Structure 1
Amino acid sequence: MESEKKLSRRHFLKYLGTGAASLAAAYSGLNAFSTKANAASEVNAYDQLPETFNPTLHTAADADQLLLANGFTYQVIAAYGDSINKAGDTLGFNSSYTSFFSYPGSSSEGLLWVDHESAQYAWMLDRSKAVAWEQQKQLLYEQGGSILHVKKDTFGQWKLVSDSTIARRVSGLSPIELTGPVRGAKAVDGATLVQGTLANRGGGKTLWNTQLTGENRFESTCRDAGLSLAHYGWMVEVDPFDKANKPVKHTALGRFHHGSSAMTIRADDRVVVYMGEDSPDGFLYKFVSASKWTEADGKANSNLLSEGSLYAADLIQGRWIELSIDNVRKQLKSLTYQVPEKMFKSKETLLGQFQTLSDVLASASEAAWIVGATPCDRPAELTVHPTNQSVFIACTQNESRGNLHGHIIRLKEGLGDTFAFETFIAGGRQSGFSCPGSVTFDNVGNLWVASDISPERLNTGAWSEFKNNGLYLIHPKGAAEKTKQYASAPIEAALGGLSFTDNQATVFVAVNHPGASGAGTATPSSQWQHRFGKKDPRSAVVVITRSIL
Structure 2
Amino acid sequence: MSPKLLPLISQIGTRHGSRSFRTCELKCANQCDHPEPNTSGNEHIQSVLQSAFSRRGMLKVGAASVAAAGVGVLASNLPAAADFSAAANGDKGNGEFPGFGGGHGQLTHGVVPPNRKDDIVIPAGYAQSVIIAWGDPVETGAPRFDVNRQTPEAQAKQFGYNNDYTMVVPLRDDRKALLVCNHEYTDENLMFPTGKYDAKTIARIGLAGHGMSVVQIDRVGRTGQWRRDGHGGRYNRRITATTKFDVTGPAAADARVGKVAYGTFGNCAGGVTPWGTILSGEENFNGYFDVSGTVPAQYQASFKRYGVPTTATKSARQWSLVDERFDLTKVPTEAFRTGWIVEVDPYDPKSTPKKRTMLGRMKHEGATVTITADGRIAAYLGDDERGEYIYKFVSTGRYDEKNRKANFALLDEGTLYVAKFTGDGTADGLFDGTGQWIPLTTDKKSFIDGMSVADVLIDVRTAADKVGATRMDRPEDIERNPVNGRIYAALTNNSNRGGTFAVDEANPLAKSHTRPSLGAPLVEQSGNRNGYILELSEEGDDAAKTGFFWTLFLICGDPAAQETYFGGFDKSKVSPISCPDNVAFDGSGNLWISTDGNVLGSNDGIFTVPVAGPKRGQVKQFLSVPFAAEACGPLVSEDDLTAFVAVQHPGETDDATFEKPSSTWPHTHTFPRPAISCVWRKDGGRVGS
Which category of TM-score, normalised to the shorter sequence, fits these structures? 0.7 to 0.9
CA distance in structure 1 between the partners assigned to 2:191 and 2:671 by the alignment? 18
Amino acid at match of 1:473: T
Cα-to-partner distance string for 1:386-443 (whole Å, 9 max, x where unaligned): 1232110000000010111100001121275211111111101235201101110111
From 378, 388, 394, the equivalent of 1:288 is 394
Q: Which residue matches 1:301? A: 407
CA distance in structure 2 between the partners assigned to 1:116 and 1:78 by the alignment? 13
Which stretches of structure 1, 4 residues or more, deviate above 6 A after TM superposition? 478-481
CA distance in structure 2 between the partners assigned to 1:123 and 1:74 by the alignment? 25
> Contact 2:480 / 2:487 at 8 angstroms: preserved in 1?
yes
CA distance in structure 2 between the partners assigned to 1:124 and 1:255 by the alignment? 31
Instruction: Give SS of 2:645's match.
Output: strand
> Structure 1 pair 244/326, CA: closer, same or farther in 2 (3 Å)?
closer
Equivalent positions of 1:126-141 (< 5 A) are 133-141=200-208
Equivalent positions of 1:67-466 (< 5 A) are 67-88=121-142, 89-104=157-172, 106-122=173-189, 133-153=200-220, 157-162=225-230, 163-188=232-257, 191-223=258-290, 224-225=318-319, 226-227=325-326, 228-316=334-422, 318-324=435-441, 326-329=446-449, 354=451, 356-401=452-497, 402-414=527-539, 416-430=545-559, 431=566, 432-453=576-597, 458=598, 463-465=599-601
Q: Which residue matches 2:108? A: 49
Structure-2-length-normalised TM-score: 0.64
> Structure 1 pair 475/115, CA: closer, same or farther in 2 (3 Å)?
same
Instruction: Compute the RMSD of aligned alpha carbons.
Output: 2.8
1:10 is displaced (CA, Å) by: 4.3
Structure-1-length-normalised TM-score: 0.80
**Is 1:512–2:614 an aligned residue pair?**
no
Task: State the identity as a percent.
Answer: 31
Instruction: Give SS of 1:366's match.
Output: helix
1:229 is displaced (CA, Å) by: 1.0
> Contact 1:84 / 1:160 at 8 angstroms: preserved in 2?
no
> Contact 1:397 / 1:407 at 8 angstroms: preserved in 2?
yes
> Structure 1 pair 176/408, CA: closer, same or farther in 2 (3 Å)?
same
Which of 439-448 and 213-222 deviates more?
213-222
Which of 280-289 and 319-328 deviates more?
319-328
1:158 is displaced (CA, Å) by: 1.9
Q: Which residue matches 1:496? A: 632
> Structure 1 pair 98/524, CA: closer, same or farther in 2 (3 Å)?
farther
CA distance in structure 1 between the partners assigned to 2:246 and 2:399 by the alignment? 22
> Contact 2:120 / 2:624 at 8 angstroms: preserved in 1?
yes
Amino acid at match of 2:128: Y
CA distance in structure 1 between the partners assigned to 2:600 and 2:456 by the alignment? 42
1:521 is displaced (CA, Å) by: 3.2
> Structure 1 pair 315/167, CA: closer, same or farther in 2 (3 Å)?
same
Cα-to-partner distance string for 1:467-525 (whole Å, 9 max, x where unaligned): 11111112325969821111111111111112233212122210111112359833555
> Contact 2:190 / 2:661 at 8 angstroms: preserved in 1?
no
> Contact 1:468 / 1:492 at 8 angstroms: preserved in 2?
yes
Amino acid at match of 2:439: E
1:526 is displaced (CA, Å) by: 2.6
Equivalent positions of 1:34-45 (< 5 A) are none
> Structure 1 pair 153/48, CA: closer, same or farther in 2 (3 Å)?
closer
CA distance in structure 2 between the partners assigned to 1:519 and 1:238 by the alignment? 37
Instruction: Give SS of 2:407's match.
Output: helix
Amino acid at match of 1:309: T
Amino acid at match of 2:643: V
Q: Which residue matches 1:536? A: 671
| Bigger share in helix | 1
> Structure 1 pair 387/124, CA: closer, same or farther in 2 (3 Å)?
closer
Amino acid at match of 2:236: A
Q: Which residue matches 2:117? A: 63
Cα-to-partner distance string for 1:254-292 (whole Å, 9 max, x where unaligned): 010111221111122211111111111121110011122
1:153 is displaced (CA, Å) by: 4.5
CA distance in structure 1 between the partners assigned to 2:538 and 2:222 by the alignment? 46
Instruction: Give SS of 1:236's match.
Output: strand
> Structure 1 pair 509/168, CA: closer, same or farther in 2 (3 Å)?
same
> Contact 2:191 / 2:658 at 8 angstroms: preserved in 1?
no
CA distance in structure 2 between the partners assigned to 1:536 and 1:49 by the alignment? 36
1:231 is displaced (CA, Å) by: 0.6
Q: Which residue matches 1:9? A: 82
> Contact 2:190 / 2:656 at 8 angstroms: preserved in 1?
no
Number of residue equivalences: 469
> Contact 2:484 / 2:589 at 8 angstroms: preserved in 1?
no
> Contact 2:110 / 2:622 at 8 angstroms: preserved in 1?
no
CA distance in structure 2 between the partners assigned to 1:68 and 1:485 by the alignment? 9
CA distance in structure 1 between the partners assigned to 2:401 and 2:158 by the alignment? 35
> Structure 1 pair 519/70, CA: closer, same or farther in 2 (3 Å)?
farther
CA distance in structure 2 between the partners assigned to 1:114 and 1:436 by the alignment? 20
Cα-to-partner distance string for 1:37-78 (whole Å, 9 max, x where unaligned): xxxx98xx5376234226xxxxx6111111111111111111
CA distance in structure 1 between the partners assigned to 2:347 and 2:553 by the alignment? 37
